[in-house]
Amino acid sequence: GTDVGVAVVEILRVIAKPGDKVLVNSPVYQNFYNWLAETGMEKIDVPFTRTGSDEGSNNPWELNWPEIERAYASGIKIHMICSPHNPLGRIYTKEELLRFIGLAKKYDVIIISDEIHAPLTYKDSVFIPTLALGPDAEKVCITVTAASKGWNIAGLKCAIIITQNEEMKEKMSLLPFALHYRASLPGAYASAIAFKEGGIWLDTVIENLNQNRFLIRDLLASTLPSVSYHIPQNGYLAWLDLTALNLGEDPAATLIERGKVAFNSGHFYAPQTSQYVRFNFATSPEIITEAIHRIRKAL
């Protein structure tokens, strides 16, 4: 397909019908909501709950298992997961994924796993592809991914849909043929080469991002200690809780106006995270330093 979004929309059209219930766990990549709206699905949201502190390696965002099971039992058709998670920078554990798979098998639900951020996993974390977890996973899961995040080639328009089970493959054979031929040939070639030969480049990018994720921690500790930040396990997105800065209803809007620094507003990802901003740190240490300096100046 041309991109993961188009792939997900077409998969939804094939395996569900308008009005079917689809589970998401907010805060989550805002296009999850757009794809559900575009296909006329009913969104069921069981949000992550924030627990613990930002210290240490455990991500403070926990899944609400009793509510997730209740959602499965209520008749959802699909559970859409963002693995690794955007914007939380969170890697699902093997136990969590197996639990999803067990529920999906029990309640006859299909899991769509968006794994586009997977190549950007840091060395101190382990990403587990959902489809790698055995025959039950293969029965209930469809994975969508692309080289576009890891190798910064989103403009080349090529995404991949993966199944590992005959029945699921049969379902995917109903996808419109245009989905296949509208992906770009340069994108297909670039993706194949990225996955096959792009390891050294990717390692270098991850090392740079690794330095940046700790730079943010150090800068916040020294200049804005009341901002809450958990070091992400994956990717180039920092999820900052700015509640303590009292920047009004939409801190991102306040910061662009007062500080001339642009972040993604937390309310894109969930109504309950409007005091958060998403900070893309795939940039130079100088720009990161200046961005945090501008938050400070805007107070």
Q: What is the mean pLDDT of residues 134-161?
A: 97
Report which of 144, 66, 55, 60 is spatially closest to residue 99, judged by C-alpha positions. Answer: 66
The DSSP bridge pattern shows strands 78-82 and 21-24 to be parallel
Q: What is the pLDDT of residues 207-230, one digit of tens each?
A: 999 999 999 999 999 999 999 999
| Burial of 272 from C-beta contacts in 10 A (0-12 / 13-18 / 19+) | middle
The whole-number pLDDT of residue 48 equals 97
Q: What is the pLDDT of residues 103-126, one digit of tens each?
A: 999 999 999 999 999 999 999 999
Report which of 197, 129, 119 is spatially closest to residue 163, judged by C-alpha positions. Answer: 129
Q: What is the pLDDT of residues 242-297, one digit of tens each?
A: 999 999 999 999 999 999 999 999 999 999 999 999 999 999 999 999 999 999 99
The whole-number pLDDT of residue 60 equals 87
Max Cα distance, the chain (Å): 58
Write the DSSP symbol of residue 274: T
Q: pTM for this one?
A: 0.95
The residue assigned the tokens 């920078």 is 89
User: At residue 55, does pLDDT exceed 60?
Assistant: no
Say what the alpha-carbon torsion angle 180, 142, 13, 265 is, to the nearest 10 degrees: -100
Q: What is the mean pLDDT of residues 48-52?
A: 87
- Give domain limits for the chain: 4-197, 200-298
CA distances for 1 relative to 144, 167, 176, 255, angstroms: 10, 20, 10, 37
| Burial of 226 from C-beta contacts in 10 A (0-12 / 13-18 / 19+) | exposed
User: Considering the chain, what percentage of its residues have pLDDT values greater than 90?
Assistant: 95
pLDDT band at residue 59 using 50, 70 and 90 as cut-offs = confident
* Coil vs helix vs strand at 173: coil
Across-strand partners of 81?
Answer: 113
Query: How many whole angstroms separate alpha carbon 287 and alpha carbon 280?
Result: 11
Alpha helices, H only, the chain: 4-15, 31-39, 65-73, 94-107, 135-140, 166-172, 177-181, 185-197, 199-223, 251-258, 285-298
pLDDT band at residue 233 using 50, 70 and 90 as cut-offs = very high
CB 20 within 8 A of CB 77: yes
The whole-number pLDDT of residue 1 equals 86
Domain 4-197 class in CATH: alpha beta
pLDDT band at residue 137 using 50, 70 and 90 as cut-offs = very high
Task: Copy the structure tokens of residue 206.
Answer: 């991850």
User: At residue 57, does pLDDT exceed 60?
Assistant: no
Q: What is the pLDDT of residues 67-85, one digit of tens each?
A: 999 999 999 999 999 999 9
Domain 200-298 class in CATH: alpha beta
Kindly report the backbone phi and psi dihedral angles of residue 82, in degrees, each rounded to the nearest multiple of 5, phi listed first: -110, 105
Query: How many whole angstroms separate alpha carbon 119 and alpha carbon 196?
Result: 12
Report which of 82, 31, 39, 37 is spatially closest to residue 61, judged by C-alpha positions. Answer: 82
pLDDT band at residue 58 using 50, 70 and 90 as cut-offs = low
Report which of 12, 16, 50 is spatially closest to residue 31, judged by C-alpha positions. Answer: 12
